[in-house]
Each structure stands twice: as C-alpha cells, then as structure tokens.
Amino acid sequence: MTRGYNAEQIREKLIDALRQSKTGLTGMEIAEKLRVNRVTMAKYLKVFAAESLIKQKSMGNVNLWFVEKGVDQLSFPADLFQVKNRYLEYVLSAAGPETHNLIRTSLHSGANPIKLVNEVVVSAIDAVENSYKNGKIGKSEKNLLDEIMSSSLYLIRMSEKEINTKKNVVLLSTDHQSYLRALAASAAFQTEEWAVSLLGDMSSAIDVMFDIDLQRFLNKAWPKREGIMIIAIFSSAEGATKFFSQAVDASRGKFGKNLYLALCGGTTKKSKTAADFVSDDIETLLQWSQTVFESSQNQ
C-alpha cells in the first residue's frame, strides 16, 4: 500500500529523504520512511533511476540510493526564472547531464511544459545563436550546445500524452538554423495532445517536385481529413519561406479549408504569402492553433 500517495508525492518525499541522508539509504529504509510497501517502493526506485533522478551505489554488501547531482525540489511557477538562468548556465558550460536533470526535475515538479519550452529552452537557443553570431563561440561548440538543447526538447516530447487525431500539425524548417525552433514547437504541441509530424530541415527538398511530395505525405499523415491540419514553416531565409509556402498553397484546393499555414521566423513579417498565422513566438502559435481547432469543432 502507498498510504494514498501518488507517484509525484512519492517522488517528492523520496528526494527529500535522500537529501537528508548524506550516506544514502537502502531500499528497505526508504520504504519504512515513506511508509510504502517494499515491493511497490522497489518499482518506484527503478522508475526514478531510469529517469536519472536517483542513483544506486554498492557499498560492500549493501546497495544505497542517492539523489543524482543537479536534482532539486522546485516549485512552479515561482522557480521558472531560476530554472531559466540555471538552464542557460548549464548549456553554455556544455553540462549535458545537469541540463537534462534540470528539465526532468522541472517536469516532475509540475512545470508547465510549454513555459519550459518557450521561456527556458528557446531563450537558451537565442542566447547560443547570439553568442555564435558575435564570435564568442565557434561552429563546433555551437553544434555541441545545440545537441544538448535538442536532447532537452526530446525529454519534454517524451511526456506521455494521449493524441487527439483531429489535431494535426506538420512542422518543418527550411534551414539548419531554424531546426531547433521547429523541434521546440513540436515538443510544445505534443504536450497539448497534438498529432505531430516533425519533418526537420527540409532545405534539400527545394525542387519542382516538392508540391507532389508534400501532397503524398499529407495523404498518409491525414488520410481521413478529420479535424484540422496545420503546416508550420520555420525559416530564417525569405526565399525558402516563399517556396514552401507556395507548396502549401498549392495543396489547399485538394485538402480543403481545414488545412492552415503558419509562418514562424525572422523573415515572416516581410513575406507576401497569404499565411493564416505569422509570429516568432511558439506559445502564441500554440494558442492560435488551439483556437482554430476549437472553432472548427463548433462549425
């Protein structure tokens, strides 16, 4: 029996107990402290260890549990600013494990995943990009930091959510520079139960056959035309934005009025394409998408 505790409460009490013990605790000691059945506690310990929240060390014939480095008790939304600063510090230091533990801890502490994406990770993406443009870091270092942030976003995407098959979104970037923002948006959408198709960097797909390629893909990704389909293009190049936008326009006649185009990137405000949505902000994109979906259900 777990005395009425849920998994989150057990996690909080477990970390608190381990923090109070500098020498670690055995599984039996943990079960007794938390008043949880030993077998049940053993299952939770395995789960939390797999999530890199705790770790086990063998001390002779005894196995002891400890809190992983960088795992803290956090309270949201109060600690969001603290997490934002610490995340950027870890990223710029190329501290991958600490970065990932901070994201895991934030999620388990009840942080809003969309706020984590938009205000923590995207903010760091911008900071790294600025450091690169200003010559403070080189290309090799930037690629390393980008990979750390990419892994953080995949941790957020891994949050288990039921998918609503009527809420469909395709995200693509027209260049490598915009890929991380597309990945960030995919994490935000997935936490809101959208069926997400992340196409990645599509710069190599710029050719005269892309219209057909896109329509073939949409036939597979959205076969029954249920609900809505949003295609979000992330771009830092005006020419590429125009090319992919025109490909989406060419598909509207075949896929109907519930196919929408969203443009996200530095050149979108200059674009003359008849997009349904234009903004650099991922949270605003998600809010607009949800509004469009709800409106479509009321028709």
Pure H helices in the chain: 7-20, 27-34, 38-50, 80-92, 96-108, 113-115, 122-133, 139-157, 179-191, 210-221, 238-255, 282-297
The residues that bridge with 55 in the sheet, in sequence order, are 66
In the chain, what percentage of residues exceed pLDDT 90? Answer: 63
pTM of the model: 0.79
245-259 mean pLDDT: 93
pLDDT digits (tens, 9 = 90+) for 257-294: 999 999 998 654 555 567 999 998 999 999 999 999 99
Rounded-to-integer distance, Cα 191 and Cα 181, Å:
16
The residues that bridge with 64 in the sheet, in sequence order, are 57
pLDDT of 273 reads 64
Question: Within its chain, how far is the Cα of 93 from the centroid?
Answer: 21
Burial class of residue 140, CB neighbours in 10 A (0-12, 13-18, 19+): exposed
**Contact assessment for residue 40 and residue 4, using Cβ atoms and an 8 Å cutoff:** no
Helix (H) or strand (E) holding 170: strand 164-173
Interstrand relation of 277-278 and 259-264 (parallel, antiparallel or unpaired): parallel
- The DSSP annotation for 78-96 comes to TTHHHHHHHHHHHHHTT-H
Rounded-to-integer distance, Cα 41 and Cα 47, Å:
10
- Quick one: tokens of 265? 């990137």
2-24 mean pLDDT: 76
- Quick one: tokens of 257? 């009025």
Dihedral angle over CA of 241, 247, 251, 256, nearest 10: 10
**Contact assessment for residue 242 and residue 179, using Cβ atoms and an 8 Å cutoff:** no
pLDDT digits (tens, 9 = 90+) for 110-164: 899 999 999 999 999 999 999 999 999 999 999 999 999 999 999 898 866 789 9
pLDDT digits (tens, 9 = 90+) for 192-245: 999 999 999 999 999 989 999 999 999 999 999 999 999 999 998 888 999 999
What is the number of residues in the chain?
299
Between 2 and 188, the more confident residue is: 188
The domains of the chain, with CATH numbers, are 7-67 (1.10.10.10), 80-157 (1.10.1240.10), 164-297 (3.40.50.280)
